[in-house]
């Protein structure tokens, strides 16, 4: 089940003086993309536009730009681009029952907001986050706790570089959680550099580059090829990197 089916072309003429957006090659020539699988990955170098587009999709879905669900409305600092207000999306025949935007860079702010809401009249609020404050857990534990307890079937979940807080073992555990939820009509869109997370089977992978946004295969991603080359002969790579 895909609740989000398509993201439409952006008309850059509608942008204001947002020089950052105008200088992202993949978005300058963006022609839209179809979301056809329960799990879709965005990959690319830093600054390639994948997180910017993921954030815009979150806004178009009504999710909080800094992270959280539709019910979160905190804002530490207004840094999100105007892209989310311009983006057009096409939905499937059914509407998701839940949604959440989880981004590594603002997770501390999200955890603080959860603490604020946990002190409100909402009963058993922390149950959805592992039963205790996310600040009372390690970074990786809080990430995993949120995903394990807060994500529910028949939802749409956007994850921006979840590997930032997760060990390789925890990343594999995340794949198991994703798979269990996919079997229960759940959709994921994930921006990632992790060759472990990107290995999830039967997913679509979109690569962001100066050539635009193009669908690619797992073994053709830079995350896979660079990591494999490094691990196949780490000593040689060290010699190349540090060669005087």
* pLDDT for residue 239 is more than 80: yes
The whole-number average pLDDT for the span 48-77 is 78
Token duo for residue 125: 């609020």
Q: Which residue has tokens 């815009």?
A: 56
Architecture of domain 4-105+154-219: 3-Layer(aba) Sandwich (3.40)
List, for residues 171-190, the tens digit of each pLDDT value. Answer: 999 999 999 999 999 999 99
Token duo for residue 68: 């959280």
User: Side by side, which strands form the sheet with 89-91?
Assistant: 33-34, 4-7, 89-91
- pTM attached to this predicted model: 0.85
**Which range has the worst mean pLDDT, 7-21, 53-67, 209-223?**
7-21
The whole-number average pLDDT for the span 69-88 is 64
Instruction: Find residue 214's DSSP bridge partners.
Output: 207
**Which range has the worst mean pLDDT, 17-31, 112-126, 188-202?**
112-126
Q: Where are the domains of the chain?
A: 4-105+154-219
SS3 content of the chain, % helix, strand, coil (to 5): 45, 20, 40
Q: Which of 8-12, 84-88, 113-117, 229-233 has the highest mean pLDDT?
A: 229-233
* pLDDT for residue 122 is more than 60: no
85: enclosing H helix or E strand: helix 83-86
* pLDDT for residue 158 is more than 90: yes
């Amino acid at each position: 089940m895909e609740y989000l089916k398509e993201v439409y072309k952006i008309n850059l003429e509608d942008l204001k003086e947002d020089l950052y957006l105008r200088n992202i090659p993949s978005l300058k020539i963006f022609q839209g993309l179809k979301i056809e699988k329960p799990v879709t990955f965005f990959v690319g170098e830093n600054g390639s536009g994948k997180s910017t587009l993921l954030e815009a999709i979150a806004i178009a879905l009504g999710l909080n730009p800094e992270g959280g669900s539709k019910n979160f409305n905190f804002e530490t600092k207004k840094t999100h681009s105007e892209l989310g207000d311009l983006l057009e999306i096409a939905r499937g025949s059914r509407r998701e029952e839940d949604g959440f935007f989880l981004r590594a860079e603002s997770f501390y702010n999200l955890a603080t907001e959860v603490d604020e809401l946990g002190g409100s009249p909402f009963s058993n609020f922390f149950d959805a986050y592992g039963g205790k404050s996310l600040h009372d857990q390690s970074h990786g534990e809080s990430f995993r706790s949120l995903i394990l307890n807060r994500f529910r079937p028949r939802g749409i979940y956007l994850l921006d570089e979840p590997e930032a807080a997760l060990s390789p073992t925890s990343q594999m555990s995340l794949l198991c959680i994703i798979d269990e939820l996919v079997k229960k009509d759940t959709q994921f869109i994930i921006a990632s550099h992790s060759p472990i997370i990107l290995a999830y089977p039967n997913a679509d992978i979109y690569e962001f580059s100066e050539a635009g946004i193009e669908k690619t295969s797992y073994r053709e991603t830079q995350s896979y090829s660079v990591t494999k080359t490094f691990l196949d002969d780490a000593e040689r790579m060290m010699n190349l990197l540090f060669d005087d």
